[in-house]
Structure 1
Amino acid sequence: MTKHFPKGLDNRMRDQNGEIRKKRGDTQVGTLRKEYGESFAKGYRSDAELGTVLKKEGVDSLDQLLKKGK
């Protein structure tokens, strides 16, 4: 049985405390490109993991990576 969490007004998934859920570090860049466009994480292979990209780019979250414009 999968537990579903409510979405906020911005249509983003929330955890039990109502905070925006973080992307898992093992999410592949190719999966994120479907959501954020083909230019997301330019220079990285589609099978690279988000955690690796975040570490190499020196940021802690997907949000910070998006703001950095990578």
Structure 2
Amino acid sequence: MKQPGLDGRHRDQNGQIRQKNGNTRVGTLREQYGDDFATGYRSDTHLSTVLRREEAPSLSQLLRRDR
């Protein structure tokens, strides 16, 4: 059985925590992080687009910055 990881994600066999895929849509992320996630972006926008436009290297960095 896999061990729980950060933010409800799971660790891979090698112990690494899987990251969100760049093609994950903002609408899906809003279900997990709240309706105020990525304000100003449509729900069908890809995470990779938001990260590029916000100049954030990762989802976790974007979440930390928005707090």
| TM-score, scaled relative to structure 1 | 0.82
The aligned residue for residue 30 of structure 1 is 27
The one-letter code matched in structure 2 to 1:59 is A
Following TM superposition, by how much is the alpha carbon of 1:53 offset from its aligned partner in structure 2, in angstroms? 0.3
The count of corresponding residues between Structure 1 and Structure 2 is 67
Structure 1 runs not aligned, ≥5 long? none
Query: What TM-score do you get using the length of structure 2 for normalisation?
Result: 0.86
Give the distance between the partners of 1:9 and 1:69, measured in 2 at CA. 18
Higher helix share: 2
Report the counterpart of residue 4 of structure 2 in structure 1. 7
- Taking only the aligned residue pairs, the percentage that are identical comes to 57
Give the aligned partner of residue 54 of structure 2: 57
Q: What stretches of structure 2 of length at least 5 have no aligned partner? A: none
- Give the Cα separation in 1 of the matches to 2:5 and 2:66: 25
